[in-house]
Amino acid sequence: MSQEQQTLLQQKITFHGAGAMAEAIVRGLISRLVVRPQDITMLNRSNLKRQQELSTRYAVHTGTAAQSLDLLASSPVIVLCMKPKDAAAALRELGPLLSPNQLIVSVIAGLSIRTMQTLLGRKQPIARTMPNTSSTIGLGATGLAFSAEITDEQRSTVMTLFEAVGIVTIVPEDKLEVLTGISGSGPAYVYYLMEAMIAAGIRGGLSSQQSRDLTVQTVLGAARMVQQTGLEPMKLRSDVTSPGGATQAALKTLDEGDFFENVIAAVGRCAERSREMGAALEGDLNHE
């Protein structure tokens, strides 16, 4: 283990919000031995039962509403995981508590660094992130963008946090929506394809379990082939597509439905909608 990770193991981290993504990140940090459970605090003021579940499941600390401000003020790293609608009040409350060297890591979709700093009332070091749900099993893909105030040490901390739950890509902040269209929402496209493949198997006479098992293994195997061989998907597709064969006939059917361009359009529309929601959110927050 690197010296960087050794240092991080002893760094206290507070999760402000304790939903599914916060839990996914915490599970990855603990299972990969990046952060000790006793160095993690999870705050969720509106659901004490949820806090109790997380404390029992992961042996992390939790705090009451009365304790939360002191816990946030003393934490070197604060991960914002609350719902977007709760972000404005939380950031305004948080701003006066902070010292200049505290790191804010945002997992709030659509909220820009500029708006977060405005709500905080200070030029705080901020890392804006876009993880996906596969982070739950350590196979996530996370996009990162950093404010100008981030130090090299803080940048390394953020990288290590999210590398614990998958791969990390650093992009300019204005490209995070494109990344959302590919990796943020991308698992849903793959699941939809899998739904259709399973349905096709069942309609063709296979059992539900057979169709599911074959589909899951096929998707897993195809992804691993790309990953492990280093070959481009186009090359691998060509290798299994014999002229005049069954695979070519299947792909021709997909092409008749403009499959390739539809996927590209779906990614584009996802990115566009992400921008729209971000603009609406920031408009609402700025008018509060």
Summarised one tens digit per residue, pLDDT across range 127-169 is 999 999 898 888 999 999 999 999 999 999 999 999 988 999 9
Single-letter residue type at 61: H
pLDDT of residue 288: 62
Which residues, at least 6 apart from 8, have a Cβ–Cβ distance to it below 8 Å? 34, 35, 157, 160, 161
pTM given for the model: 0.86
Long-range contacts of 56-63 (CB under 8 A, 24+ apart): 58/26, 58/27, 58/30, 60/26, 60/30, 62/18
Summarised one tens digit per residue, pLDDT across range 173-219 is 999 999 999 999 999 999 999 999 999 999 999 999 999 999 999 99
Percent of the chain with pLDDT over 70: 95
Summarised one tens digit per residue, pLDDT across range 77-122 is 999 998 888 888 899 999 999 999 999 999 988 899 999 999 999 9
pLDDT of residue 286: 64
- Pairing outcome for strands 103-106 and 40-43: unpaired
**Three-class secondary structure of residue 111 per DSSP:** coil
| Distance in angstroms (rounded) separating the CA atoms of residues 97 and 69 | 8
Average pLDDT of the segment spanning 212-228: 97
pLDDT of residue 2: 42
- Check pLDDT > 80 for residue 276: yes
pLDDT of residue 172: 96
Average pLDDT of the segment spanning 42-63: 87
| Distance in angstroms (rounded) separating the CA atoms of residues 106 and 129 | 6
Burial class (CB in 10 A: 0-12, 13-18, 19+), 150: buried
Percent of the chain with pLDDT over 90: 70
Residue 55 φ/ψ region, left for φ over 0, alpha for ψ in the -120 to 50 degree band, beta for the rest: alpha
User: pLDDT higher for 269 or 277?
Assistant: 269
Block residue for tokens 């405005």: 118
What is the chain's mean pLDDT, rounded? 91
User: pLDDT higher for 12 or 63?
Assistant: 12
pLDDT of residue 218: 98
Q: Binning pLDDT at 50, 70 and 90, where does residue 287 land?
A: low
Single-letter residue type at 20: A
| Distance in angstroms (rounded) separating the CA atoms of residues 218 and 220 | 5
- Check pLDDT > 60 for residue 9: no
| Distance in angstroms (rounded) separating the CA atoms of residues 192 and 186 | 10
Is the torsion defined by CA of 170, 3, 140, 113 positive or negative?
Answer: negative
- Check pLDDT > 60 for residue 62: yes
Phi, psi of 60 (to 5 degrees): -90, 165
- Pairing outcome for strands 61-62 and 103-106: unpaired
